[in-house]
Amino acid sequence: MLGEGDNLPDVTLKGADGEALKLSAYRGKPVVVYFYPKADTPGCTTEAIDFTGLIDGFGALGVPVIAISKDPIRKLNRFAEKHGLAVTLASDEDGSVCEAFGTWIEKSLYGRKYMGIARATFLADAKGTIVKVWPAVKVKGHAQEVLEAVKGLG
């Protein structure tokens, strides 16, 4: 998994609008990028709603929040509409962005091993350098913790 001091990979995703979303387009301002396993599941929904609830705080600091999963665009759109989400949702259907960040990992549930997305968050500064990583996110209070870290960049 990418760590503090690494540069954000220059990758392209599909935004929920179906248009290309390049992380390099965010250079010049800090950016929050978070990975979540699957849209419209309890933990992922709570996390997206929590970030949405604080989106004005991120916006006031000029910091976009980009949420990435392997879900297809149509599922992301339903997810956003159903919950009134204001974060930028992006699709990594082929998993290349998850691979670049190191968030595609082996998981285990009830003794069964499988590959999945690690719930992780990255905060990059205006130069595109990762300044903070949350590698094993616990959803409760996480969005607020990330906002406090963004405020600390000042």
What's 114's domain CATH number? Answer: 3.40.30.10
> Does a structural domain hold residue 3?
no
> Does a structural domain hold residue 39?
yes
Q: Catalytic residue numbers? A: 44
Q: How confident is the model at residue 77, as a pLDDT?
A: 96
Torsion-angle region of 126 (φ positive above 0: left; ψ -120 to 50: alpha; else: beta): alpha
DSSP 18: S
> Does a structural domain hold residue 101?
yes
Domain limits for position 34: 12-151
Read out DSSP for 25-41? GGTTS-EEEEE-S-TTS
> Does a structural domain hold residue 5?
no
Q: How confident is the model at residue 130, as a pLDDT?
A: 98
Q: Is the pLDDT of residue 154 over 80?
A: no
Q: How confident is the model at residue 20, as a pLDDT?
A: 96
Q: How many CB atoms lie within 10 A of CB 13?
A: 21
- Angstrom CA distances, 78 to 51, 73, 110, 113, stand at 17, 9, 30, 29
> Does a structural domain hold residue 7?
no
Number of separate domains in the chain: 1
Amino acid at 129: T
CA 40 to chain centre: 15
> Does a structural domain hold residue 45?
yes
**CA separation for the pair 72, 95 (Å, rounded):** 11
pLDDT digits (tens, 9 = 90+) for 4-36: 999 999 999 999 889 999 999 999 999 999 999
| pTM value surpassing 0.95 | yes
> Does a structural domain hold residue 85?
yes
What is the arithmetic mean of pLDDT over 82-92?
Answer: 98
